[in-house]
Amino acid sequence: MFKEGDATDLNTAENGTGPFTLANWRQGDSITLARYDGYWGEPAAAAEVVFDYIPDSTAALNAALAGEVDVLTGFDANFQEQIEANGDFALVTGPSTDKGTLAFNSRAEPLDDVRVREAIRRAIDHDAIIEALGAGETLYGPIPELDPGYEDLSDVAPFDPEAAQELLAEAGEEDLELTLTIPSFYPTTIAQVLVSQLADVGITLTVDSVDFATWLQDVYVNQDYDLSFVLHTEARDFENWANPEYYFTYDNPEVQRLYAASVASLDEETAADLLRQAARLVSEDMAADWLYNGQSVLAVGSNVSGMPSTNVNERLNVAGLGKSSD
């Protein structure tokens, strides 16, 4: 909500009507929110909330064990035993709209062949990915369960390495070599699993781990890639599959029509059904593979209350967050 004519530069200044004010911002390091006593609604439970940016999972774990933080978000569930060892923290999970998306550049050979794209999908064991990550749910289409239009699409391209090999043979791609471009801030788990599983069907996958600026330029802008992995956290973002200019390189006029009709519909059930139809088409076109639906994974201190656990990568409301003095 903005006042008419407001000229606030949101890159450098705050503008809001919420229960906190921005007390301090150290770019790339921390943000400090202070309770706003003049707030029109229920006041924030905490006088101050500090967000520290700790990109390394091990460093975050050590900070928690040292008593330097009270909550960890985006936590690695594989560290559950360590974080819960002394009883000061509990691992908490919740649903999210995070979509671990393996994008295919379908405008370039050999991924312009739907048989190759399907072969890759059938070579991937989603359950093994969930096990490796330690959290999450399987996902086989572009819409997660929290969003309108969700449907279980596991029937479209189920795990079947033998079928994958047959499809590659049909396409004349029995010694296929591909490159996975992935931002370097992601753990190596996904890349390692993909290298192993694709090797089982005869695909040699080279991993190109790049800084995010390079990923943005090469993949997002120039669309110069074979495969790419990014965790898309945004809710209700199906519009990207209806945009042929987006880096997914997917272009299906019927999907675009269904999406436009969904947006225009005034009936929620009708809108959701149109999205459901469009999402099935996207999956049947083998436009990408959705490796998993991520969970919100948090480590919450035993003296902390009011910490949300649903979709916290998308939106984190800390107005009710409190901490006991015990």
CATH number at residue 229: 3.10.105.10
Asked whether residue 262 is assigned to any structural domain, the reply reads yes
Residues 307 and 216 in one domain: no
At 1, the pLDDT band (50, 70, 90 cuts) reads low
Residue 239's Cβ-count burial label (10 Å; 0-12, 13-18, 19+) is middle
Q: Which single residue is written with the structure tokens 């929290």?
A: 146
Find the mean pLDDT for residues 146-170: 98
Residues 90 and 43 in one domain: yes
Residues 111 and 230 in one domain: yes
pLDDT tens column, 191-201: 999 999 999 99
- Residues with Cβ within 8 Å of 213's Cβ and at least 6 positions away in sequence, in order, are none
Find the mean pLDDT for residues 304-310: 96
Supply the pTM of this predicted model: 0.88
CA dist., res. 264 & res. 281, Å (int): 19
Residues 135 and 124 in one domain: yes
At 326, the pLDDT band (50, 70, 90 cuts) reads low
Asked whether residue 178 is assigned to any structural domain, the reply reads yes
* Cα dihedral across residues 223, 225, 226, 231: positive or negative: negative
Number of domains in the chain: 2
Residues 261 and 152 in one domain: yes
Residues 82 and 109 in one domain: no
Asked whether residue 10 is assigned to any structural domain, the reply reads no
What is the pLDDT, as a whole number, of residue 231?
96
Residues 206 and 138 in one domain: yes
Asked whether residue 47 is assigned to any structural domain, the reply reads yes
What is the pLDDT, as a whole number, of residue 78?
92
At 321, the pLDDT band (50, 70, 90 cuts) reads very high
- CATH number at 86 reads 3.40.190.10
Asked whether residue 217 is assigned to any structural domain, the reply reads yes
Q: Is the pLDDT of residue 57 over 90?
A: no
CA dist., res. 318 & res. 297, Å (int): 16
Residues 184 and 260 in one domain: yes
Asked whether residue 277 is assigned to any structural domain, the reply reads yes
Q: Is the pLDDT of residue 14 over 60?
A: yes
Residues 283 and 304 in one domain: no
Residue type, 282: V
Domain range enclosing 154: 99-293
Asked whether residue 14 is assigned to any structural domain, the reply reads no
Is 83:75 a contact under the CB 8 Å cutoff?
A: yes
Residues 107 and 72 in one domain: no
Q: Is the pLDDT of residue 13 over 90?
A: no
Q: Given strand 89-94, what is the order of strands in its sheet?
A: 71-73, 296-301, 89-94
Asked whether residue 78 is assigned to any structural domain, the reply reads yes
Residues 240 and 103 in one domain: yes
The per-residue pLDDT of the chain, averaged, comes to 95
Q: Name the β-bridge partners of 230.
A: 101
Residues 240 and 314 in one domain: no
